[in-house]
Amino acid sequence: MPITIVRVTKATAQDLLLPNQPFQRFGHVQVTRDENGWHHQETLDPTITTQTFPEENYQLEEIDRLGFALAAHVDDKCVGLATFEYQFNKLVYLAVLKVNAEVRHQGIASALLDAAKPIAQQHGCAGMCTIAQGSNLAANRFYLHYGFEIGGLETFRYEFTQAAGEVDIHYWLSF
């Protein structure tokens, strides 16, 4: 399955309409920190649930103002999308990463991140950062496998929402 990664432009802006698809929630990552650094362990949930994030209304002008977007194509069909935002600290923030369910686990997410590195480096970035919810074990496993390191834990973001108790795990990757 040949994967083609393209930068999203006005000519390919329809790629930003890639719908969110369900993903499985089957476990949690717990993060701790001590004098030796960050540590994590996984806990599998007794039941598997499915979640779909709400649709977004991505605007190419706003994405380009903050950074850039890349799309993954297979057989001329958009099957993956990643958006990136330049940060003040010489990191590029991975804001969105999604891959159609039928082509997950085939290297598309990694290809999107691989293609983003030289673009970010040309902009003066020395690394990449992102976040994942602690209850999204698949995302956390992907980031750790790709080479990201845990860089922080945010425990209060969801406190006054239906997701009270959820945490965000912050990740970073040096180029």
pLDDT band at 50 (very low <50, low <70, confident <90, very high): very high
| Spatial CB neighbours of 115, under 8 Å, sequence gap ≥ 6 | 5, 70
pLDDT band at 14 (very low <50, low <70, confident <90, very high): very high
**CATH classification of 30-51+126-175 is 3.40.630.30, yes or no?**
yes
Residue-level pLDDT at 1: 77
Distance, CA of 92 to CA of 83 (rounded, Å): 10
Q: What angle do CA 104, 140, 173 make, to 5 degrees?
A: 100
Domain positions in the chain are 1-20+55-125, 30-51+126-175
DSSP-assigned letter for residue 170? E
pTM of structure: 0.95
Domains 1-20+55-125 and 30-51+126-175 share a fold: yes
pLDDT at 38: 98
Pair 149, 173: CB distance under 8 Å: yes
Q: To the nearest whole number, what is the mean pLDDT of the chain?
A: 97
pLDDT confidence of residue 99: 98
**What's the whole-number mean pLDDT along residues 150-171?**
94
CATH says 1-20+55-125 is which class?
Answer: alpha beta
Rounded Cα distance between 30 and 42, Å, is 6
| pLDDT tens per residue, range 65-123 | 999 999 999 999 999 999 999 999 999 999 999 999 999 999 999 999 999 999 999 99
Task: List phi, psi (to 5°) of 137.
Answer: -60, -40
